[in-house]
């Protein structure tokens, strides 16, 4: 925006100066030509009024040219500046409309299923217990999904305002242990094993325990949801020895296609039907959006690597807490970086 305004001012100044100089030169030539023409004959006197009229006509023509060019330039740059100024608001409004539309769609689906199940039960005069149980379980599942959508919306609202979160030093390994314990029933139902690997001598991050637990929960839930029965999920916590703690969630699931992986953090993005049909349970569509917002509020980084049929690996880098920064500084000052490595490449020999 500032660059566009500066360009506009520069162009106007150049046009004005060029027109002014051009008018000055033309007026000078006209005056000289008129004087020469009038003095060529010794009987003719110099008519100063005619000279002034000629100069005035030239100035008037140049002023009209300058005015016309200025109107065109102001109209063009005004449109460009206005469009650039309103673009963020227009995009925001478009995103809000899409967001509200998606929320309405996501909530309408479970409510429709619940309504249908209840209507079926009410329409039948005689109904066996097995059918009643099946319909009630379906209704409870849809209610859980609607509740999950609402909870995620509330979580997203709070995570979009980091000033509401209280940051402290916390052991990320303990947060992982607590979250994996919560996922035990879900992983057991699908016969999926979850392994926890903790490496390094410090795992303290500067963050909010509740929001980071939500991040790990969402990543594990996705890993379990898109991993076939009998698969495996590995959660790793380790320092990178340069100021961050690395959290990795890797699964042996169906993976993500290239065209989808660039959109997975968008609210309610729908991947292809093949991936959607792999799981019976439908997600709220906000899980990874919450993950990205929490990591953003923690000033962290996210890396996602995936390939169809080869699983997915999500790696999150979170800044070290005060305790681990002190340990890292001590090792740098006293005993090096704390990690020794050597790499030799023989591939080109």
Q: What is the DSSP string of 287-309?
A: HHHHHHHHHHHTT-EEEEEEETT
The model's confidence at residue 196, banded by pLDDT at 50, 70 and 90, is very high
What SS3 class is residue 262?
Answer: coil
**What's the mean per-residue pLDDT of the chain?**
76
CA atoms in the 13 A half-sphere facing the CB of 28: 6
Buried b (16+ CB within 10 A) or exposed e, 172-204: bbebbeebbeebeeebeeeebebeeeeebebbb
> Does the structure show a pLDDT above 70 at 340?
no
In terms of pTM, does the model score above 0.85?
Answer: no
In the chain, the percentage of residues whose pLDDT exceeds 90 is: 19
Query: What are residue 245's DSSP bridge partners?
Result: 239, 318
Q: Give the pLDDT score at 274.
A: 47
Task: Report yes or no: 162 and 297 within 8 Å, Cβ to Cβ.
Answer: yes
Strands 244-251 and 232-239: antiparallel
Among residues 76, 80, 79, the alpha carbon closest in space to that of 68 is found at 76
User: Does 101-159 match 167-334 in CATH topology?
Assistant: no
Which contiguous run of DSSP H or E holds residue 64?
helix 48-123
Average pLDDT over residues 167-193: 90
CATH class of this structure's domain 101-159: mainly alpha
Q: Where are the domains of the chain?
A: 2-92, 101-159, 167-334
pLDDT tens sequence across 70-118: 677 777 767 777 777 777 767 666 656 656 666 676 677 778 888 888 8
Is 3.30.565.10 the CATH classification of the domain at 167-334?
yes
């Amino acid at each position: 925006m500032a660059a566009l305004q500066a360009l506009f001012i520069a162009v106007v100044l150049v046009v004005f100066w060029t027109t002014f100089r051009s008018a000055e030169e033309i007026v000078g030539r006209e005056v000289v030509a008129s004087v020469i023409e009038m003095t060529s004959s010794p009987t003719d006197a110099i008519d100063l009024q005619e000279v002034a009229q000629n100069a005035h006509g030239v100035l008037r023509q140049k002023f009209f040219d300058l005015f016309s060019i200025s109107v065109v330039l102001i109209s063009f740059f005004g449109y460009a500046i206005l469009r650039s100024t309103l673009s963020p608001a227009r995009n925001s409004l478009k995103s809000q409309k899409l967001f509200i539309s998606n929320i309405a769609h996501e909530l309408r689906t479970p409510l429709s299923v619940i309504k249908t199940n209840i209507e079926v039960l009410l329409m039948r005069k005689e109904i066996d217990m097995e059918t009643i149980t099946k319909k009630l379980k379906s209704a409870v599942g849809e209610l859980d999904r609607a509740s999950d959508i609402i909870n995620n919306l509330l979580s997203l609202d709070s995570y979009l305002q980091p000033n509401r979160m209280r940051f402290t030093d916390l052991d990320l390994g303990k947060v992982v242990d607590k979250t994996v314990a919560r996922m035990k029933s879900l992983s057991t139902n699908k016969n999926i094993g979850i392994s926890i690997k903790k490496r390094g001598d410090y795992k303290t991050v500067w963050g909010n325990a509740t929001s980071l637990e939500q991040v790990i929960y969402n990543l594990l839930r996705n890993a379990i949801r898109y991993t076939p029965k009998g698969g495996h999920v590995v959660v790793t916590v380790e320092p990178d020895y340069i100021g961050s703690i690395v959290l990795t969630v890797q699964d042996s699931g169906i993976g993500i296609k290239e065209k989808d992986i660039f959109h997975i953090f968008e609210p309610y993005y729908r991947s292809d039907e093949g991936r959607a049909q792999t799981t019976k349970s439908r997600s709220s569509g906000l899980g990874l959006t919450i993950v990205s917002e929490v990591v953003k509020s923690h000033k962290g980084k996210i890396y996602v690597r995936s390939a169809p049929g080869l699983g997915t690996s999500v790696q999150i880098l979170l800044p070290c807490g005060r305790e681990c920064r002190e340990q890292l500084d001590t090792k740098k000052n006293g005993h090096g970086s704390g990690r020794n490595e050597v790499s030799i490449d023989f591939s080109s020999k």
